[in-house]
Amino acid sequence: MKKTKNIFIVSMLIVASAWIILALLNIVIYKGGLIITLFMIADSVCFIILAFIFDKHILFKIATACFLFINTVLTVTDQMGVADYAVLILNLICIGAMVVYWKVSNK
Give mean pLDDT, residues 45-62. 93
Give the Cβ contact number of residue 25 at 10 Å. 14
Single-letter amino acid code for the residue at 100: V
For 65, residues 6+ apart whose C-beta sits below 8 A from its C-beta are 98
Question: Where is 101: in which H helix or E strand?
Answer: helix 82-105
In tens, the pLDDT along 2-47 reads: 888 899 999 999 999 999 998 998 888 877 788 889 999 999 999 9
For residue 82, what pLDDT is reported?
Answer: 85
Report which of 53, 24, 65 is spatially closest to residue 41, judged by C-alpha positions. Answer: 24
Mean pLDDT of the chain: 90
For residue 2, what pLDDT is reported?
Answer: 85
